[in-house]
Amino acid sequence: MSDDAARLNLRLLEVEGAEDARRILGELGTDPAGAAIMSRKMVTASVSVENVQARASHIIKQVMLSKGGDCATPRDVFLIDGKDLVNVILIGTEKQLSEAAKSLAAQPFGCKALASELKGFIAGSLGEGGGTRTLRAGDYQLALGRRTLVMGIVNVTPDSFSNGGEFMSFEAARLRALEMAAAGADIIDIGGESTRPGAEAVSLSEEERRTIPLIEAIAAEVRIPISIDTYKSEIAARAMDAGACMVNDVSALRLDERMAPLVAERGVPVILMHMQGMPRNMQENPSYDDVVADISRFLLQRARHAIAAGIAPEQVLIDPGIGFGKTVEHNLEIIRRLSEFASLGHPLVLGTSRKRFIGSVTGRVVTERIMGTAASVAFSIARGVDVVRVHDVEEMLEVVKMADAIAGRERPQ
């Protein structure tokens, strides 16, 4: 691993006071002395940096101290490519982190690579550079950051967890999509294979029969982007020929090696979602060392895979996959710490709509989870989500409009 080739994973850790700082440091395995130092400081930003050479951690600490910040190092050391690596936490203000990045650029042991990524991270996640971005979807341009976008879900499946096949017929699905567009949805997401827990895969021909004629019909009648929810490249290609201009892949480009080149060739946005296991077994025994850190690492790796395949970085969106191989507590922890995903440098998509964890908390059946969904949508917007994927478009548009206003985002009248 050369100095310039070191790959680092940066995440913003949201810290609220000394007690929260000690909790985060304890979870990440830092020594008590580091926690004591941190408790005496007003912490405004903490950045978790993974895979730093052990020798570099001492340099990083000295640089951060010289800028008035601090650096905590967990006890664990691990070996990759013959090098001792550690994870560190940089603690300081945006200015202190920026000044440290300048100094680290002249240091050895991977610090140059860290400085380069840290500068980009600060611009995209802490500074003003992470404001409005444009997502290009066919003939459409979607402004991200100015307001939260709403993606309406139309599942054309007989066993959907959310509607029990309510929109299985062509005409019912078409009318629902038109209703969503008229209500103000920004994107329509069409899926022909259920991904509920325990669901089995459907054949290529059946998925095509359910989705392609519907996309053709909707594309002729609405003036918003249509997304195809599939992990099969052949379905995605046919959907794009029919008028879709986005791909929503629950496998994050893992299950069909032809999907990434296809998306790159067509130049469409792609949503990379995290899923532990497959729908038929993903809820059997989901487990993580740290659910947010583990999923963040996965999403960064898949984003890099997508970019290496030729997909433009600005066309890559990420989704932590609520309910896809997660317990109720996992889902709640993901939502609590969404700002860490929002800091990864890619637009963040979240789908909590009507999901089982809401029923576990509220005691409501799937058709009565609109208020629980609304709460999760509003909270996620406060934590930096760019796109919310929902069934109840009309109601959630009001929630989004209000949450955007509170968060300081503007929604056009």
Task: Give Cβ neighbours of residue 294 (< 8 Å, ≥ 6 apart).
Answer: 288
Q: Which residues belong to the active site?
A: 355, 389
Helix (H, G, I), strand (E, B) or coil at 19: helix
182 HSE (CA, 13 A, CB side): 8
Question: What SS3 class is residue 393?
Answer: helix
* CA dist., res. 316 & res. 321, Å (int): 15
- Contact (CB, 8 A) for 342 and 348: yes
A 10 A CB-CB count for 33 gives 9
Distance separating alpha carbons of residues 129 and 31, to the nearest angstrom = 34
Measured CA to CA, the distance from residue 400 to residue 183 in angstroms comes to: 13
d(CA 226, CA 344) in angstroms, rounded, equals 25
Cα end-to-end distance, the chain, whole Å: 52
H or E, element range at 350: strand 349-350
What's the angle, vertex CA 271, arms to CA 269 and CA 272, rounded to 5?
130
d(CA 229, CA 226): 10
Residues composing the chain: 413
Please list the residues that pair with 46 across neighbouring strands: 13, 91
Q: Which residues of 186-224 are buried (b: 16+ CB within 10 A; e: fewer)?
A: bbbbbbbbbbbbebebbeeeebbebbbebbbbbbeebeb
Closest CA to 217 of 281, 248, 173: 173
Residue 242 β-bridge partners: none
